[in-house]
Amino acid sequence: MVAAVAAAREAGRGWAALPAPERAAALGRAAAALEEASGELVELGIAEVGKPRAEMAGEVQRGVAILRYYAGAALDPEGDVLPSPDGRSLLFSRHLPYGVAGLITPWNFPVAIPLWKLAPAIAYGNAAVWKPAPAATAVAGRLDEVLQGCLPPGVVHLLRGDSTTGEALVGAADVISFTGSSAVGATIVARGAERQIPVQAEMGGQNPSVVLPDADLGQAAALVAASAMGYAGQKCTATSRVIVVGDAGGFLDALVEAVRALRVGDPDDAATAVGPVISASARERALDAVSAARRAGGRLLTGGGALPGDGYFMEPTLVGDLEPGSYLCQEEVFAPVAAVLAARDLDQAVEIANGVRFGLVSSVYTSDLDQAMRAVGRLGTGLVRVNAPTSGVDFYAPFGGAGASGYGMKEQGKAAVHFYTRSQTVTIAPSRSL
């Protein structure tokens, strides 16, 4: 690992010295190469992490778009020119790369998350050492081959390994971006503070969908079901709590029906919406959480059990009649499981939604603009979506949460330059009196 960081630091000097149009061209070539290799990466993702075909294909195309976006972003202004204090000098700021970006990525988005870290890091002149999750090393290896064919040697290093490898990377890189669990993220944040280096950590969520009585209840049910159960709930943006406000008529029946209608099975089947969870232990933890919720008085609305098949399948599960403080309503389960809660009005719904340590994303379903704006201003999440699912990320918009969901500057879009570069203010005064 130390050798990889040293090699990246050496290669990074030459990479940072390249004119920005050359870095942009390299990222453009990488986008074209990824598009050409998209079929292979889709098959690898289905086989390795069990992502349904339609979702995996969409993820790879998002990766292509991310590379193209940052190819353009490499040509953005490097800073700002400011008024000089004396009318004669030149005063300006500029963005400079840190050196080596250490990137630690999860298994559930094996193409998109690495690229939304790698692309801005290298677009702005850094080299990168990237450690993917052990469960996604086949996809990582093919993605690395794509990048190596388009970039100068040493600019990106793929570093396979376990938590020990990740710890070593955090101790050596110049800037760290991490996506994973809140426990590991907190450790990385603390280590970064000790080293006085920038750290960005995206650490999951316990995301609420608030459904008001005036919403299009059929559409809301379909969107909530997909965002809670799609890809077996293995997204940090998946809906974990459904908060039903007042008398929402037939919403609960529509939600149960929508969840039951989702196809569970082979992720290679184009019709599959819910594939397997990642491991036997992950399924066991989710089933235990459902059992504990039922013992605490929760009412099983649908699902709740394991399913047979060549993989770790689980029924999409809804549990009602729980208290907001119960485990299933407080912690991230990372499986096709969601709790259904009742609220008498929007005020109570917002209180319940904010009553967790996480703060990644929330959704509000309503046809009343006034109610929507009230909710948006009071929900304590980094992202708020109105009449749209909690799941889904716009790669050109800032992304990140509050509380236990996120630390440091936001990812993606124009926000990325402020994380992967340091600001330098320069004054150039005349060398002689004029």
Q: What is the pLDDT of residues 344-394, one digit of tens each?
A: 999 999 999 999 999 999 999 999 999 999 999 999 999 999 999 999 889
- Which pLDDT belongs to residue 434? 62
Task: Yes or no: say if 88 and 7 are a contact pair by the CB < 8 Å rule.
Answer: no
Count of CB atoms situated within 10 Å of the CB of 429:
12
What integer pLDDT is reported at residue 53 of this predicted model?
97
Residue 247 confidence class, pLDDT cut points 50, 70, 90:
confident
What is the rounded average pLDDT of the residues 260-271? 96
pLDDT of residue 433: 73
Residues 383 and 82: their CA atoms lie apart, in Å, by: 33
- Inter-axis angle of helices 20-36 and 38-49, to 10 degrees? 70
Predicted confidence (pLDDT) at residue 248 exceeds the cutoff of 80: no
Mean pLDDT of the chain: 96
The residue ranking higher by pLDDT, 3 or 10, is 10
* Catalytic residue positions, numbered: 202, 236
**Tens-place pLDDT, residues 325-356:** 999 999 999 999 999 999 999 999 999 999 99
C-beta separation of 128 from 169 below 8 A: no
Give me the mean pLDDT over the 390-419 stretch. 95
pLDDT at position 1, please?
A: 64
Q: List the 383-386 sheet strands across, edge first.
A: 299-302, 317-320, 337-343, 239-245, 207-211, 361-365, 383-386
Cβ(100)–Cβ(8) under 8 Å? yes
Percent of the chain's residues with pLDDT above 90: 96
Question: ∠ CA(35), CA(126), CA(421), 5° rounding?
Answer: 115
Residues with Cβ within 8 Å of 102's Cβ and at least 6 positions away in sequence, in order, are 5, 128, 129, 131, 169, 170, 172, 173, 174, 175, 176, 177
Spacing of C-alpha 299 from chain mean position: 31
**% the chain with pLDDT above 70:** 99
pLDDT in tens, 36-72: 999 999 999 999 999 999 999 999 999 999 999 999 9
- Cα dihedral 195, 199, 205, 207 in deg (nearest 10): 140
pTM: 0.95
Residue 320: predicted pLDDT: 96
Structural domains of the chain, ranges and CATH numbers in brackets: 2-203+405-428 (3.40.605.10), 207-386 (3.40.309.10)
42-58 burial, b if ≥16 CB within 10 A, otherwise e?
bebbbebbbbbbbbbbe
